Structure 1
Amino acid sequence: MAKKRLVNLDALIPRDDFLVSATEAIPPADFASSMKVTDLERDSFTYHTLRKPDFQRETANWDPDKVAELVKSFLEGDLIPSVILWRSSHSGNIFVIDGAHRLSALIAWVHDDYGDSHTSTRFFDKNIPDEQKRAAKETRDLISKSVGSFEDLRQASRNPDTADEERVRLARNLSAYALTLQWVRGEHDKAESSFFKINQQATPIDKTELAIIKSRRKPNAVAARALLRAGTGHKYWSAFNPEIQEEIESIAVEVYDLLFKPSLDQSIRNTDLPVAGKGYSADSLKMILELVNYVNNIKDEMWLENSHAAPRRGKAATSTSQLENDVDGAQTLAFMKRVRRAALRIAGNHPSSLALHPAVYFYSATGQFQPSAFLATIRFVLELTQRNRLIEFTKVRSKFEEFLVQYKYFMNQLVRQHGGIPRSIDAILVMFQVILENIATGITDGEIIEAFSGLAVLRPIKVRTAVDYEHKREFTRETKVMIRLQEILDKASLCGICGSRLPLKLSSVDHILRKEDGGLGEPRNAQLTHPYCNSGFKEHLNSLTIAN
């Protein structure tokens, strides 16, 4: 079953630091006990004081049905849990400790902004993914059909004689119903502890999100946030100097475009697949954080509280000292530059790019993007680079990739057996290594698969036959996606040098007969190649020719 789209309401309540509150506290009796929907209009004093803590998780976990149901429940006077607030006596801002989704859903209705309108467009610097736009439209349509827009009810209230009777009833409910409020009393440390206690109960915060929240000023957390949102949204790097901020945002946009453009169509109707799946998904933050940590050799025990995890291999750092908060942005920037280098190695038009075909490496036999495969591939390619084995890999690349395509379901089996991020990454990496070590020797596919059986981590792998599949009369969504993915693989262009599949958007145009040897810039002397094949590998072949 396909996952429902999630509505991004993150822009509607700004984030801010709690700050250290003043010594003068406001008596509890002065706090309001309820909040009317009119308090959420754009020009309301109350709306302009609302804030979320800067460590609050993204307000993007509700699907269109849930947002629409909340609005309808409010208008019908159904019981809605209290919203818990805390007021900073230092800034005067009112922070949402619990109920950000409830409050944001009502604000979205009042402002007609479900992640795609005025406030959201500014917040995300006009960089709104197609998936987010579709979720917004679906929500707006649902609400329009069930209760009507806020403006519809406003007009019904003003013109009851000509308006729809049901809309008039709902409009009049607005004058009677309000959200119940509860207040946290005390200083900012009490408010912060209340936030974590409350948000670990009914709907616990995902472990990755919680880790980032608690380590929100560490460079890996800041880098992951920036990369996932292409440098838009809440700027966790806003305390750095303007030059650092600008460079962080520039790299974030570049890496985001390399990994997540174009947007992923889950039914795979577009041959141009994104390298890293959907930038707007529940797994994206975990995947990007894992990427940042790996290429910078950040082990769990260096940044997680009470972590006793075993060290993992990586690239940049060698120390296991604790990762400190980034006070000036220099380390965040360094982390992001290493991620950019890794991204350019697998995608993009840089001369170092292998330009890996996404359908070969990152999508399973059922057409689903596999975060574990993406991260394992990054590790595999970086290890090849570190060990100066890219030439060796390119020589057998077409055979290596043909094996991956022929036995694509092996990846599904490994992920099913070992789980998602990070558990199945090592298994997929070992599979890549075993294939590479054996493919150049000329042994058969069967012998390579036999080599898998000698490794415990790969023993879940089993060869499947037509007998293993059971089909109904109608084509399932999964079958349709599989057919489209296979069509992409079958019709992919091939590199003129290594012979493996080539994404056209990443292709380089190469002289078959070199210019130095008299080759002309004419169509019959041109071939499409991977950028690396046209630079590093071709130079290697030419050097061998000269030597001989």
Structure 2
Amino acid sequence: MSQNLFLDALIGRDDFEIQDQAQMSQGPHKTTLGYNDFSIPGFFFASLRKPDFQRETNEWDVEKVKDLVASFLDGDLIPAIILWKYADSYTFVIDGAHRISAIAAWVNDDYGDGKISRKFFDNAIPEEQIKIAVKARELINKEIGSFKSFEDALFDQANAPKQIQSRLKNFGTRAIQLQWVDGDAKKAEDSFFKINQKSTPISDTEMSILKTRRKPIGLCARAILRGGQGHRYWDKFQGKSEEIKIEAQEINQLIFHPALVTPIKTLDLPLGGKNHASNSLSMIFDLLTTLKVDDKNDDTDGTLTLKALKDIKKILNAVNSNHPSSLGLHPAIYIYSSMGNFRVSSFNSIIAFTKYLIEQKKQKSFTEHRENFEKALYSSEHIIQQIGRKSRQSNKAIEPLLHFYIYILDSLEKQISITDILEKVNQNPNFQYIIQNSIPQLDNDFEIGNSFSKSIKSGSFLRDALPTAVRCKICNGILHQKSISIDHIQRRQDGGKGVIDNAQLTHPYCNTTYKN
């Protein structure tokens, strides 16, 4: 479970280019930030912004936030905050958003679950984010003391806890140094990328997201990850903004619900793992790249973004939903490992495979061979691991995994047995590197001891639950709770009645399309 705090709500976002250059700023800039500057609402924070393309403020864990607050109170060295302001623009944070947010979280008692965050996310805060925020508050209040406890101590210093007394004498003089970038918006943006690449390197995927922030792929990635909540990058699209939000919410639900809880004790698993995993944004961006969402054209009115979202939802509905087109692909078979580990590359590749089935009009063939396809896939853990290791990066494993799924289906269509399909996979030119006697690699948290790891607990549940899982009465594939249709055994048009003896559980596609 990720222990990083989500502090994105504390500093607002805006575009560098929103400014009136005819009205120049007057007077010198501030040189330090004291604790009074961190109050929200407050005069300093009212004009403070992050660039709209900056990564979300979620890179720091509880310990790092606690240590930063302690350093601030003790007068330890804290690197200067770098700001930029030009003409009549807001004051933008070029470097130091996490440092400012950490102090602001303490001063305003908002570690991602407070009044500011709840307003920012329209009260739609994931449970995991709340749990981590509560943990941070409890730890910081215990080891340092809340900001309010420092304020209260001013009225009764003699009876204040010792840890507060020792810091209270210098409390009003503590400050963080500020530096300022001179120049226009282009200079500020160049400075941002140069500085941030040195502090916390930006990955290739993150850089792609930043570069496409005005294009459908970048807009869709951020909207989907947050379910249309948080900073609304699409608000400028008047007339389409609300529809974009709704589409993004629905796609987020299709990917991340029901919420994943580990160790796994249910087969009701989400397609996309945990919404707050550190790689979630990259995973979504890789998915949109695989689905060929527009990354070339700036979206000026929201039309391109809205169309892209609808196309994405159409594919995801076919993967696993209650939509009539849904194949109901069960995540435990198609995405998670036998030990319950979420596999990013499998998530993206199985959605690409669904797109392939639709485009090639192979849903019927897949349904006819589905039972054996799932048996073959379930027995392919050693092959999937080797494909992942060969690719090295999850996004580079998407295409070879897609080819592997196509290979299985093509072989089943030729009446080749499951045993021969798997034993002869390295005779296929795409998979000559597969070693048949390879032992599946153990999960990272596996260790020999008296206690069971999360993976062992999850693996034991999946081992016992999957063989007895409810199956579709038409294709005999495993059913997922999000994708169950109640089918008339004898069709209504043939006189079938709505009685329990005439009802059977099926996948939506099996019921609405394949059967008919």
Cα distance between partner residues in 2 of 1:26 and 1:330: 37
Cα distance between partner residues in 2 of 1:364 and 1:338: 28
Q: Which stretch shifts more, 427-436 or 160-169?
A: 160-169
Q: Which of 516, 534, 547 lines up with 2:493 in the alignment?
A: 516
> Is structure 2 residue 345 aligned with structure 1 residue 378?
no
Q: CA shift at 1:188, angstroms?
A: 2.1
Q: CA shift at 1:380, angstroms?
A: 1.1
**Structure 1 gap ranges (5+):** 304-322, 540-548
Q: Deviations over 1:288-339 (max 9, x none)?
A: 22222333464xxxx4xxxxxxxxxxxxxxxxxxx22111110111111110
Q: Percent identity?
A: 40
> Is structure 2 residue 421 aligned with structure 1 residue 425?
no
Q: Which stretch shifts more, 397-406 or 442-451?
A: 442-451
Q: Deviations over 1:250-307 (max 9, x none)?
A: 1011111111112212322333111111222222212222222333464xxxx4xxxx
> Is structure 2 residue 410 aligned with structure 1 residue 437?
yes
Distance 1:297 1:181, change over 3 A: closer
Q: Which of 437, 462, 474 lines up with 1:497 in the alignment?
A: 474
> Is structure 2 residue 215 aligned with structure 1 residue 239?
no
Q: Deviations over 1:330-380 (max 9, x none)?
A: 011111111010110101101000111110111123311112111111111
Cα contact 2:372–2:418 (8 A) shared by 1: no
Q: CA shift at 1:163, angstroms?
A: 1.7
Q: Which of 279, 292, 301 lines up with 1:283 in the alignment?
A: 279
- Aligned residue for 1:199? 196
Cα distance between partner residues in 1 of 2:31 and 2:4: 31
Cα contact 1:414–1:424 (8 A) shared by 2: yes
Cα contact 1:359–1:488 (8 A) shared by 2: no
Q: CA shift at 1:26, angstroms?
A: 4.3
Distance 1:106 1:482, change over 3 A: same
Counterpart residue type for residue 469 of structure 2: A
Q: Which stretch shifts more, 268-277 or 347-356?
A: 268-277
Q: Which of 140, 144, 152 lines up with 2:137 in the alignment?
A: 140
Cα contact 2:217–2:293 (8 A) shared by 1: no
Cα contact 1:131–1:263 (8 A) shared by 2: no
- Aligned residue for 2:251? 255
- Aligned residue for 2:434? 461
Cα contact 2:25–2:88 (8 A) shared by 1: no
Counterpart residue type for residue 444 of structure 1: S
Q: Which of 355, 372, 375 lines up with 1:402 in the alignment?
A: 375
Number of residue equivalences: 511
Distance 1:50 1:465, change over 3 A: closer
Cα contact 1:493–1:504 (8 A) shared by 2: no
User: In the TM superposition, what are the counterparts of 1:267-346 in structure 2 within 5 Å?
Assistant: 267-296=263-292, 298=294, 303=295, 323-346=296-319
- Aligned residue for 1:349? 322
Q: Per the alignment, in what secondary structure is the counterpart of residue 324 of structure 2?
A: coil
- Aligned residue for 1:73? 71
Cα distance between partner residues in 1 of 2:447 and 2:67: 37
Q: Per the alignment, in what secondary structure is the counterpart of residue 240 of structure 1?
A: coil
Q: Which stretch shifts more, 276-285 or 4-13?
A: 276-285
Cα contact 1:9–1:108 (8 A) shared by 2: yes
Counterpart residue type for residue 426 of structure 2: S
Counterpart residue type for residue 522 of structure 1: V
**Structure 2 gap ranges (5+):** none
- Aligned residue for 1:64? 62
Cα contact 2:317–2:325 (8 A) shared by 1: yes
Q: Which stretch shifts more, 522-531 or 460-469?
A: 460-469
Q: Which of 194, 207, 228 lines up with 1:210 in the alignment?
A: 207
Cα contact 2:6–2:111 (8 A) shared by 1: yes
Cα contact 2:373–2:408 (8 A) shared by 1: yes
> Is structure 2 residue 107 aligned with structure 1 residue 121?
no
Q: CA shift at 1:473, angstroms?
A: 4.3
Cα distance between partner residues in 2 of 1:6 and 1:43: 25
> Is structure 2 residue 506 aligned with structure 1 residue 533?
no
Distance 1:382 1:467, change over 3 A: closer
Cα distance between partner residues in 2 of 1:391 and 1:74: 64
> Is structure 2 residue 43 aligned with structure 1 residue 45?
yes
- Aligned residue for 2:12? 14
Q: Which stretch shifts more, 460-469 or 124-133?
A: 460-469
Cα distance between partner residues in 2 of 1:281 and 1:463: 33
RMSD: 2.1
Q: CA shift at 1:401, angstroms?
A: 0.5
Cα distance between partner residues in 2 of 1:514 and 1:220: 43
- Aligned residue for 1:315? none
Counterpart residue type for residue 326 of structure 1: D
Cα distance between partner residues in 2 of 1:87 and 1:442: 68
Q: CA shift at 1:499, angstroms?
A: 0.5
Q: Deviations over 1:463-501 (max 9, x none)?
A: 458899897343333222211232342332101111110
Distance 1:124 1:457, change over 3 A: farther
Q: Per the alignment, in what secondary structure is the counterpart of residue 158 of structure 2?
A: coil
Distance 1:162 1:503, change over 3 A: same
Cα contact 2:376–2:422 (8 A) shared by 1: no
Distance 1:365 1:219, change over 3 A: same
Cα distance between partner residues in 1 of 2:58 and 2:248: 20
Q: CA shift at 1:94, angstroms?
A: 1.4
Q: Deviations over 1:425-470 (max 9, x none)?
A: 1121111111111124443333112331123542443445889989
Cα contact 1:493–1:502 (8 A) shared by 2: yes
Distance 1:119 1:487, change over 3 A: farther
Cα distance between partner residues in 2 of 1:186 and 1:473: 60
Cα distance between partner residues in 1 of 2:410 and 2:308: 31
Cα contact 1:33–1:180 (8 A) shared by 2: yes
